[in-house]
């Protein structure tokens, strides 16, 4: 994704993370009032829920965490579609 952002904003790929940090520092991001749903596959071994998903739930009632079993991949897609339909609105 860094390549795509660098290309889109005419940046060197090594500058992308620094530029993002300037615009949206990680330590002061405020997502209150924004509905967020995190889908976590039970087969995911790279990122455990404790270090990846659950930390976003702390102090934010708008974050919903959903675990999905890989055998039922259709339910995973349906769940994503339902989330967007529930939170869709005109800006």
* DSSP H/E element including 38: strand 36-41
Q: Which CA distances in Å does 71 have to 38, 53, 67?
A: 19, 21, 12
Entry pTM: 0.44
Taking 70 as the pLDDT cut, the residues of the chain under it are 26-32, 69-76, 91
Compute the distance between CA of residue 49 and CA of residue 47 in angstroms, rounded to an integer. 7
pLDDT at 71: 66
Residue-level pLDDT at 65 = 80
For 28-38, write each residue's pLDDT tens digit.
666 667 788 88
Cβ neighbour number for residue 19 with a 10 Å cutoff: 14
């Amino acid at each position: 994704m860094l390549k795509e952002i660098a290309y889109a904003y005419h940046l060197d790929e090594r500058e992308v993370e620094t530029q993002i940090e300037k615009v949206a520092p990680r330590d002061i991001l405020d997502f209150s009032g924004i509905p967020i749903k995190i889908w976590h596959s039970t087969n995911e071994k790279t990122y455990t829920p404790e270090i990846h998903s659950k930390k976003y739930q702390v102090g934010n009632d708008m974050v919903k965490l959903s675990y999905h079993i890989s055998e039922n991949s259709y339910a995973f897609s349906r769940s994503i579609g339902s989330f967007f339909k529930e939170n869709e609105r005109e800006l």
